[in-house]
Structure 1
């Protein structure tokens, strides 16, 4: 089609957007409330299960490596900005015949005569028309991604724009970054043609408009009232929705039969037991299960004498160690791959011959690959003798093995560290139980039960108008280009303080175990 003969499409009044479709697909009541009485969405917070993978400082550079002719449009905020972005997009699309396959537009804005406007992640040229791509810093897409691409395709068709293909641009985990900004090959295209036909977008738009103009719908069966998984945040319409959602009646997790494992718990429930307090000790054959049952029955922690005996076989000088790692979707350092687990910080409390504690640590402070410096400083601090305590130590051991394989000059010294690492998780599991752990052996649960005053596992720092709830988020932000140096220093200091609290808490746990 000759776009020069096309009447420019104005921004529609009260337009529908991709987020509207997502809300409507999740819950028609939520969609209706948003359209008729919008409220500000609640900010999401990364909790204990925070994703250890981040986008990476080279994400835009990586996309440009695949599409050297990339034109990026800013995100429009107002109706005037939307109209300007739509006009620019139309002018860019007119010139497609003169472009090669390296040409692309990121953030192309298009509106339809049905009152829908969309911002397309990536539009590029194919042999027989446009290619629409949803860019994901991930290895797989979601249903919401497919819906979004279907909506883009529909809007393009309403503008009589020929689309050759529509799909996802995903991370290829086999890619190894050679350095020097050479990211060609990082992404792989996934054609969504086989599934887009199952999305009747035109019918959805009609239904959405009818819903908006109608009465407040009832809550559909299966509506995600607590959390919208596709957005990763609670439904912002819970309060105006006015529903009284009954909380399920749950057994007290501190007394749950599941503390002794799901399989045994199922057997005990079949036998008529309700919680662990009712189960006779002779019914539990494993020592750690009987220990947990005693703690639950008396409401007090139980510590076996074997803990102190085991620690007495591990003379000093002692060290208490923790690692922080990160995985980048777009690898920033040569020789690394997408999502590879990369260490960037270690913290250690070192016991001197006089019993005094010295705090040591390493934190990457530049955008270069820190792993050799990380490993060299670790070897120097840990020395050649004495136990090194870590919680769930398989994690630290695996990182040390990877460093030993990577750096031949440090390999012997790193390998020599492995047999010295003592897993505090194993010590606790074999000798200790606290009712407040509620069957969980996660580090967060153990800290909360044994050293609640330490707050060792909590992390929160505000910097440059943003709030970070995990060390990896803070570290990734400190690498961002243009981040104010003073704010980057603030983030790094928060990381150091967090590591020190963690190591101090590990020392306190060791002291508790020695009291038996």
Structure 2
């Protein structure tokens, strides 16, 4: 047994050291002072994998044995003993056998908790499990360390690799996930990972005085370093001018040219230096610190007949599919929200659909949508409508009996994104044309750009949580209420956008400056 297992180096230490020696040193000092185990290696918890992760793994390795995750030094020593005992008892005849979370320690100061170990014909096969389509350099580093520790622990390692999601897998249902995970051999890459030298350098670093802050340290990549407060770095100098006026709003290449010409931000850029109407409109809005709407937008929208509908979809794509006939990461609609305005001045009527946990929601989604929207030929307004159109076409291909009606509905969609991009700009958009940015700019009081419920920040996270088995009824109801309310805010924002464009377009028509820099866009003019 190891005398001080928690002092051993693991793949999380290696990741920190490879990023920044100071980050590694500070973490090791904090861990020693607190006499607590290092935090677990970050996982893919921030990605919606789906509620069937355990079922998928068990389907691939039905005879799998799990070693409980160790938290204390005593736990680690027990887990190492359990690992060696399980490996000693494993037989080649046991089909689908794997050891999950195998714990090992080497005699040169490292430890590893290997995601998955299986038997091969000539030794042990080690895998890092990622519910993703590709691995990262940090994954390769971790596997290299695991292979080093396993070999130093006396194991004969036949191969090492990643287990990744195969996007060509189609889930047949009934928990049959065999084939979901594909193997990627990392053996050829391990020669570029001198793990033994790395461990020696890490141990020397841990014993040395506190390292200086290195130049170019990735303090915020891919996320903020947990040791930033200890480094007391000076705050980055504020960008000159208003961040909403940065030159990159007109594109990186043009921004570089403008910067070379001596411009710091858009406030000093002459409109005639910009090549198209969309960029001139954005710059004009920044310079006058007020939104600009070309008058041509209003007649486009006023020409739309009633009843008018305002539509938003929400979708999800699970790494591990939960509905038969679907693939990993397939974009699947689970909620639609729609406001209908029957006539000018009439209050909107809201309709919607939100899937439950009873099965594949696509047919119910399509049927309910056609029932609410498919009984006339009126316009259906959406933002970035290519998204909604593509979902309707996918549903039409999936359900032949509903196909003609779904395709007809797709043809009725009017894209407010295209109208806004060709005729409107608000400084608060800061160069972004996402629905979040536009909604926040035109209707900040509605809060349509935000979603927050139970610590979740997107509708897809909330829906994924709602599908988790065993969720308390009150939590489920809270999640569903938040999703429905979010849908209502989104459709209200679409209505607000159209009303604003129609009203302000009339005002702009009487006050719009003349001259080529302010010429209104025609409906066919590229934005």
**TM-score, reference length from structure 2:** 0.89
Question: Which one is further off, 433-442 or 273-282?
Answer: 273-282
Structure 1 residues 31 and 264: CA distance shift in structure 2, 3 A: closer
Matched, 1:288 2:278: yes
2:245 aligned residue (235, 240, 255): 255
Structure 1 residues 262 and 496: CA distance shift in structure 2, 3 A: same
Is the 1:315–1:387 contact (alpha carbons within 8 Å) kept by the matching residues of 2? yes
Is the 1:326–1:344 contact (alpha carbons within 8 Å) kept by the matching residues of 2? yes
CA-CA distance at 1:269 after TM superposition: 4.1
CA distance in 2, matches of 1:76, 1:42: 11
- Give 1:158-173 correspondences, 5 Å limit: 158-173=152-167
Structure 1 residues 505 and 461: CA distance shift in structure 2, 3 A: same
Matched, 1:508 2:496: yes
CA distance in 2, matches of 1:248, 1:158: 51
2:16 aligned residue (4, 7, 23): 23
Hey, what does 2:461 align to over in structure 1? 473
CA distance in 2, matches of 1:289, 1:13: 57
Matched, 1:35 2:23: no
CA-CA distance at 1:96 after TM superposition: 2.2
Matched, 1:394 2:386: yes
1:373 aligned residue (364, 368, 381): 364
Is the 1:71–1:106 contact (alpha carbons within 8 Å) kept by the matching residues of 2? yes
CA-CA distance at 1:153 after TM superposition: 0.8
Hey, what does 1:339 align to over in structure 2? 329
Is the 1:350–1:359 contact (alpha carbons within 8 Å) kept by the matching residues of 2? yes
- Give 1:31-110 correspondences, 5 Å limit: 31-38=24-31, 54-97=48-91, 99-110=93-104
Q: How many residues align?
A: 497
Is the 2:166–2:180 contact (alpha carbons within 8 Å) kept by the matching residues of 1? yes
TM-superposition CA deviations, 1:177-203 (whole Å, max 9, x none): 111111111111111111112111122
Matched, 1:328 2:318: yes
Is the 2:6–2:73 contact (alpha carbons within 8 Å) kept by the matching residues of 1? no
CA-CA distance at 1:143 after TM superposition: 0.9
Structure 1 residues 290 and 502: CA distance shift in structure 2, 3 A: same
CA distance in 1, matches of 2:40, 2:102: 26
1:494 aligned residue (479, 482, 486): 482
Matched, 1:200 2:194: yes
Hey, what does 1:155 align to over in structure 2? 149
CA-CA distance at 1:43 after TM superposition: 12
Hey, what does 1:420 align to over in structure 2? 412
CA distance in 2, matches of 1:198, 1:401: 47
Hey, what does 1:14 align to over in structure 2? 7
Secondary structure at the aligned position of 1:210 is classed as helix
Secondary structure at the aligned position of 1:121 is classed as strand
Secondary structure at the aligned position of 2:350 is classed as strand
Structure 1 residues 450 and 226: CA distance shift in structure 2, 3 A: same
Secondary structure at the aligned position of 2:64 is classed as strand
Secondary structure at the aligned position of 1:439 is classed as coil
CA distance in 1, matches of 2:472, 2:379: 40
Is the 2:55–2:175 contact (alpha carbons within 8 Å) kept by the matching residues of 1? yes
Hey, what does 2:229 align to over in structure 1? 239
- Give 1:209-224 correspondences, 5 Å limit: 209-224=203-218
Question: Which one is further off, 251-260 or 65-74?
Answer: 251-260
TM-superposition CA deviations, 1:208-233 (whole Å, max 9, x none): 11111110012334321123x2xxx3
Secondary structure at the aligned position of 1:458 is classed as coil
Is the 2:5–2:77 contact (alpha carbons within 8 Å) kept by the matching residues of 1? no
Secondary structure at the aligned position of 1:197 is classed as helix
Structure 1 residues 250 and 62: CA distance shift in structure 2, 3 A: farther
Secondary structure at the aligned position of 2:115 is classed as strand
TM-superposition CA deviations, 1:35-77 (whole Å, max 9, x none): 11259999999xxxx9996211122211221211111222222
Hey, what does 1:120 align to over in structure 2? 114
Is the 2:109–2:199 contact (alpha carbons within 8 Å) kept by the matching residues of 1? no
- Give 1:455-470 correspondences, 5 Å limit: 455-462=447-454, 467-470=455-458
CA distance in 1, matches of 2:278, 2:148: 60
TM-superposition CA deviations, 1:90-149 (whole Å, max 9, x none): 110111235435110111111222332221100011001110000011111111111111
Question: Which one is further off, 243-252 or 198-207?
Answer: 243-252
**TM-score, reference length from structure 1:** 0.91
Secondary structure at the aligned position of 2:7 is classed as coil
Secondary structure at the aligned position of 1:453 is classed as helix
Is the 1:254–1:436 contact (alpha carbons within 8 Å) kept by the matching residues of 2? yes
CA distance in 1, matches of 2:481, 2:170: 32
CA distance in 2, matches of 1:181, 1:477: 19
Structure 1 residues 254 and 115: CA distance shift in structure 2, 3 A: same
Alpha-carbon RMSD across the aligned residues, in angstroms, is: 2.5
Structure 2 unaligned spans of 5+: 506-527
